[in-house]
């Protein structure tokens, strides 16, 4: 046991003696085990460690002792993500925050002097005197994120995740329903809620979509990662005419050309730069093209589509 832990055990002994705590000798053994564990323990975790050390106590006795340790500042109680109550060693003069993996429940402690200073500056700017604070960051640790790099059904996504639609599977009716709603391959979604027995709610471009679990299982997604070279490619150089797209493909408009009257008509139809278009089908003679733009069905002649340049076709 470290020198600090020995000092704390002595402080613990002194404070408990003055407080006239009952069953002192038994209670004194509990911090001896607890202070050796520099992680986040539930009362049940501590009970197991005490048993491994040859000490057997009732669960309520252990919880009551932990409450006393919190009262005197030897332990700190946490309830991460509304989960189980966990206790950690409270070091005097030390502050740290937590990152919690929503997949494996791993808890990572971190501290950052610049962040602490910034928080004080923000509070001061608002005329607020900060006494204490707690920061909890929820996400996915490296190990779990590595396991999720492949595709997965949207229905299995976690609340708070940002994902890219990779493919829409299932029958034609399911695909058409999702595309008509405005969900297309390449779109970036934020998962708002995902209850185990209810709808999954996602957000796209400031709009919320509620999907049943069956429909959400047809949407295959992958973790969103912003490419470090994003924005450095000249999309117009890599573009192609919309008339060259195939049925089932999605592309992003990068340029709308044509004579002034034609261009104005195309723009009025909603065919604007930055908008995604989905080629639903071609007519039997390959003209016109049936498109879906922002959830609306549009029919366009092939010669008109030649004036619209698209990129990022998938």
Summarised one tens digit per residue, pLDDT across range 47-103 is 888 888 888 888 898 898 888 888 888 888 888 766 778 888 777 666 788 888 877
Report d(CA 139, CA 143) in Å as an integer.
Answer: 12
Across residues 189-203, what is the average pLDDT? 86
Give the pLDDT score at 232.
44
Give the pLDDT score at 3.
52
Same domain, 159 and 130: no
Asked if residue 27 lies in contact with residue 15, where contact means CB atoms within 8 angstroms, the answer is no
Give the pLDDT score at 235.
46
Report d(CA 71, CA 65) in Å as an integer.
Answer: 10
Round the average pLDDT of the chain to a whole number and report it.
Answer: 81
Q: Give the chain's domain count.
A: 4
pLDDT surpasses 80 at 191: yes
pTM, rounded to two decimals:
0.50
pLDDT surpasses 80 at 230: no
CA nearest to 58, candidates 23, 110, 93 = 23
Give the pLDDT score at 187.
86
Across residues 208-220, what is the average pLDDT? 89
**Domain ranges, residue 59:** 3-89
Give the pLDDT score at 81.
67
Same domain, 71 and 13: yes
Check which CATH number belongs to the domain holding 160 and give it. Answer: 2.30.30.90
Across residues 255-268, what is the average pLDDT? 82
- The single-letter DSSP state of residue 80 is G
Check which CATH number belongs to the domain holding 38 and give it. Answer: 1.10.10.10
CA nearest to 247, candidates 176, 196, 165 = 176
């Amino acid at each position: 046991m470290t020198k600090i832990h020995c000092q704390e055990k002595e402080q613990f002994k002194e404070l408990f003696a003055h407080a006239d705590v009952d069953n002192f000798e038994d209670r004194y053994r509990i911090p001896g085990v607890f202070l050796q564990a520099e992680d986040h323990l539930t009362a049940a975790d501590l009970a197991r460690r005490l048993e491994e050390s040859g000490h057997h106590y009732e669960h309520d006795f252990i919880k009551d002792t932990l409450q006393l340790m919190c009262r005197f500042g030897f332990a700190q109680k946490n309830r991460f993500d509304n989960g189980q109550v966990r206790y950690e060693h409270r070091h005097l003069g030390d502050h740290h925050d937590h990152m919690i993996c929503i997949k494996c429940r791993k808890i990572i402690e971190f501290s950052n002097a610049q962040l602490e200073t910034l928080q004080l500056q923000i509070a001061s700017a608002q005329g607020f005197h900060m006494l204490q604070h707690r920061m909890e960051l929820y996400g996915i640790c490296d190990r779990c994120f590595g396991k999720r790099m492949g595709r997965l059904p949207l229905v299995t996504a976690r609340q708070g995740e940002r994902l890219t639609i990779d493919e829409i599977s299932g029958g034609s009716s399911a695909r058409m329903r999702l595309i008509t709603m405005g969900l297309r391959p390449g779109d970036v979604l934020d998962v708002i809620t995902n209850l185990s027995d209810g709808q999954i709610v996602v957000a796209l471009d400031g709009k919320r979509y509620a999907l049943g679990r069956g429909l959400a299982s047809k949407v295959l997604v992958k973790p969103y990662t912003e490419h470090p070279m994003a924005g450095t490619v000249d999309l117009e150089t890599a573009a192609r005419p919309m008339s060259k797209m195939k049925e089932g493909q999605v592309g992003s408009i990068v340029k709308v050309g044509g004579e002034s009257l034609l261009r104005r008509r195309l723009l009025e139809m909603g065919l604007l730069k930055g908008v995604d278009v989905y080629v639903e089908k071609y007519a039997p003679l390959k003209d016109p093209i049936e498109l879906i733009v922002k959830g609306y069905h549009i029919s366009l002649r092939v010669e008109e589509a030649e004036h619209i340049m698209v990129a990022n076709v998938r």
